[in-house]
């Protein structure tokens, strides 16, 4: 095992078996990790335009040394580009260079790159080898794990998708240190989510180690990221297609996605993590009112979000929105939620910190009240 390799997980999902590797500077060993896992030596690297001068050079040298024939396709990441037109460009590279099912495609970037490339890998020749090298915290602990791949259609996010698992997932902590503040905090929102749905000990650790975590202290990052990945895997195993327990991983997403969409999904007034933060606060409010809890559950949510610099309210005027119109848009867009069951929305609500349950019968008045609480003038 490499001295830079902190953790290694062997994952079995459906009929897929793959490894998740966590470490520092391990992208430089990607060729060695990949050697022997695929017979064909053709590899296409799809890389975020902003990473081509850093991560790409390291990876290219190592793959070439291991005898791989490498092709490169750069991509300007952004939700507006996660579409069928960009997928077609990647298909063209694969087809024109005679890629086979045992060839490989590597995604280097955040969630947009991983989703798009994963979708292409799942559909080209009905499936070719996929390797994830996620470079954002959200992608590392969430979107690169569990097999969800998709592209957007018009203004509907992830409207066309699939479930497809990688051959290998390489998580290199060197990328965390260079993340913009907003990206780092967005990923931390997903880790907070994991703690609230099932792990009080992780929540307590996040509460007492916020300074170290926000300063990217390595041992703290290893602790929280490893635990978040373990939680994600635990919920995905046995429920890959999200019919039962995996639904709990969507805590905060029902309200959060509606806010993201209504404020401009492609403009990203709120990034995904910020949307999830707002959605969790809204879900805590619904839990308080619907189940007659006291204010503790709501206050606990707001305190942890504020500790990590995450939003707990939508300041409509600050971003040029009229509050009444934004409320109306949120109430309309929430019905686009992919997890709804017939004409009923499914909500994940906290019973306490460390335990959430699925509810299919939340009355509309509580949903309306949540948006009214979250959206201010």
Q: Which domains does the chain have, with CATH numbers?
A: 5-178 (3.40.50.1970), 181-376 (1.20.1090.10)
Catalytic residue among 253, 271, 288, 301: 253
Mention every residue, 6+ apart, whose C-beta is less than 8 A from residue 117: 46, 90, 105, 106, 107, 130
- The token pair at 239 is 């429920």
Asked about 8 being catalytic, the answer comes back as: no
Cβ neighbours around 231 below 10 Å, total: 21
Instruction: Measure Cα distances from 176 to 164, 217, 249, 269, 329 in Å.
Output: 25, 10, 23, 22, 34
Catalytic residue among 165, 250, 271, 288: 250
Asked about 246 being catalytic, the answer comes back as: yes
Catalytic residue among 82, 185, 193, 257: 257
Mention every residue, 6+ apart, whose C-beta is less than 8 A from residue 13: 146, 147, 165, 236, 237, 240
Catalytic residue among 242, 260, 302, 329: 242
The DSSP bridge pattern shows strands 156-163 and 148-153 to be antiparallel
Q: How much is the pLDDT for 1?
A: 46
Asked about 341 being catalytic, the answer comes back as: no
Catalytic residue among 24, 82, 148, 193: 148
Which residues in 305-331 are b (16+ Cβ under 10 Å) and which e?
bebbebbbebebeeeebeeeebbebbb
Asked about 126 being catalytic, the answer comes back as: yes
* The length of the chain, given as a count of residues: 377
Mention every residue, 6+ apart, whose C-beta is less than 8 A from residue 69: 41, 42, 43
CA gap 132, 343 in Å, rounded? 36
> What predicted TM-score, i.e. pTM, was given to this entire model?
0.95
CB 227 within 8 A of CB 281: no
Closest C-alpha to 352, from 308, 291, 307, 306? 291
Q: Encode the chain (377 residues) as per-residue pLDDT tens digits.
A: 455 889 999 998 877 899 999 999 999 889 999 988 888 999 999 998 888 777 788 788 889 999 999 999 998 888 889 999 999 999 999 999 999 999 999 999 999 999 999 999 999 999 999 999 999 999 999 999 999 999 999 878 889 999 999 999 999 999 998 899 999 999 999 999 999 999 999 999 999 999 999 999 999 999 999 999 999 999 998 889 888 899 999 999 999 999 999 998 778 899 999 999 999 999 999 999 999 999 999 999 999 999 999 999 999 999 999 999 999 999 999 998 877 877 889 999 999 999 999 999 899 999 999 999 999 99
Catalytic residue among 15, 85, 126, 294: 126
- The token pair at 192 is 């907070």
Mention every residue, 6+ apart, whose C-beta is less than 8 A from residue 367: 255, 286, 331, 334, 345
Q: How much is the pLDDT for 135?
A: 95
Asked about 232 being catalytic, the answer comes back as: yes
Catalytic residue among 272, 288, 301, 333: 272
Asked about 242 being catalytic, the answer comes back as: yes
Which residues in 178-198 are b (16+ Cβ under 10 Å) and which e?
ebeeebbbbbbbbbbbbbbbb
Mention every residue, 6+ apart, whose C-beta is less than 8 A from residue 73: 44, 45, 46, 47, 89, 90, 93
Asked about 257 being catalytic, the answer comes back as: yes
Asked about 29 being catalytic, the answer comes back as: no
Asked about 372 being catalytic, the answer comes back as: no
Instruction: Measure Cα distances from 123 to 106, 111, 118 in Å.
Output: 15, 18, 9
- Which residues in the chain belong to E strands, given as ranges? 5-13, 16-23, 42-48, 69-75, 104-109, 129-134, 148-153, 156-163, 168-172, 314-315, 347-352, 355-359, 375-376
Catalytic residue among 79, 185, 232, 288: 232
Asked about 250 being catalytic, the answer comes back as: yes
At residue 87's C-alpha, the angle toward residues 272 and 171, to 5°, is 50
Catalytic residue among 29, 86, 190, 329: 190
């Amino acid at each position: 095992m490499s001295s830079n390799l902190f953790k290694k997980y062997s994952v079995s999902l459906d009929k897929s078996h793959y490894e998740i590797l966590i470490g520092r500077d391990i992208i430089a060993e990607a060729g060695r990790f990949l050697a022997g896992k695929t017979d064909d030596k053709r590899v296409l690297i799809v890389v975020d335009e902003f990473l081509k001068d850093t991560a790409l050079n390291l990876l290219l040298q190592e793959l070439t040394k291991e005898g791989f024939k490498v092709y490169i396709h750069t991509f300007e990441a952004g939700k507006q580009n996660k579409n069928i037109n960009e997928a077609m460009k990647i298909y063209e590279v694969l087809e024109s260079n005679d890629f086979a099912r045992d060839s490989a495609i590597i995604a280097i970037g955040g969630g947009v790159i991983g989703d798009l490339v994963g979708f292409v890998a799942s559909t080209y020749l009905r499936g070719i080898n996929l390797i994830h090298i996620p470079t954002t915290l959200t992608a590392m602990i969430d979107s690169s794990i569990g097999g969800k791949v998709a592209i957007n259609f018009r203004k509907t996010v992830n409207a066309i998708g699939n479930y497809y698992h990688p051959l290998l997932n390489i998580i290199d902590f060197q990328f965390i240190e260079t993340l913009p503040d907003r990206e780092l905090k967005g990923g931390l929102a997903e880790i907070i989510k994991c703690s609230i749905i099932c792990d009080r000990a992780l929540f307590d650790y996040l509460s007492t180690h916020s300074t170290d975590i926000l300063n990217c202290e390595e041992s703290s990052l290893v602790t929280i990221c490893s635990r978040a990945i373990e939680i994600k895997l635990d919920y995905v195993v046995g429920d890959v297609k999200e019919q039962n327990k995996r639904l709990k991983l969507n805590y905060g997403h029902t309200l959060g996605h509606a806010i993201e969409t209504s404020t401009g999904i492609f403009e990203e007034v709120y990034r995904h993590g910020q949307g999830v933060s707002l959605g969790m606060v809204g879900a805590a409010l619904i839990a308080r009112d619907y189940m007659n809890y006291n204010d503790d559950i709501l206050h606990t949510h707001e305190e942890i979000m504020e500790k990590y610099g995450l939003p707990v309210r939508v300041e409509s005027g600050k971003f040029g929105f009229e509050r009444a119109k934004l409320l109306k848009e949120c109430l309309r867009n929430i019905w686009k939620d992919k997890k709804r069951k017939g004409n009923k929305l499914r909500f994940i609500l906290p019973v306490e910190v460390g335990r959430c349950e699925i509810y299919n019968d939340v009355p509309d008045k509580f949903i309306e009240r949540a948006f009214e609480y979250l959206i201010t003038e």
